[in-house]
Amino acid sequence: MGKHLKAALRKLISYIKDWRTFIAFGLSALIVNCWGLPFLLIDAGWSKAVFGTYIAYMCIPFLNLTIPLGILLKRILFRKRGDNDKENVNSVNESSRD
């Protein structure tokens, strides 16, 4: 079991060390946690109540949306080439050989 745990930790660390992960998680933290900050400047009672309730909800463990949103943003923002792009690259490489 120790080998499986080490392999999983290495995979997790390599995923976290990627610079794309920092960008995606930074954007997700801004989206999830900072959307209500302008409402605090409005100084309306209802806006402070709504944002305060939301922040209290986000402090509950396992209900935070930052991690799943960060993973989703990383997949959306930093996609690899699709199959269509690979076919175009292969056709360019074949035509350059001629």
pLDDT, tens digit (0-9, with 9 covering 90-100), for 45-69:
788 888 878 878 877 776 778 888 8
pLDDT of residue 50: 82
Does the pLDDT at position 98 exceed 70? no
Whether 85 shows a pLDDT value over 80: the answer reads no
Is residue 20 within 8 Å of residue 76, measured between CB atoms? no
- Rounded to the nearest 5 percent, the helix, strand and coil shares of the chain are 80, 0, 20
Which pLDDT score is estimated for 94? 55
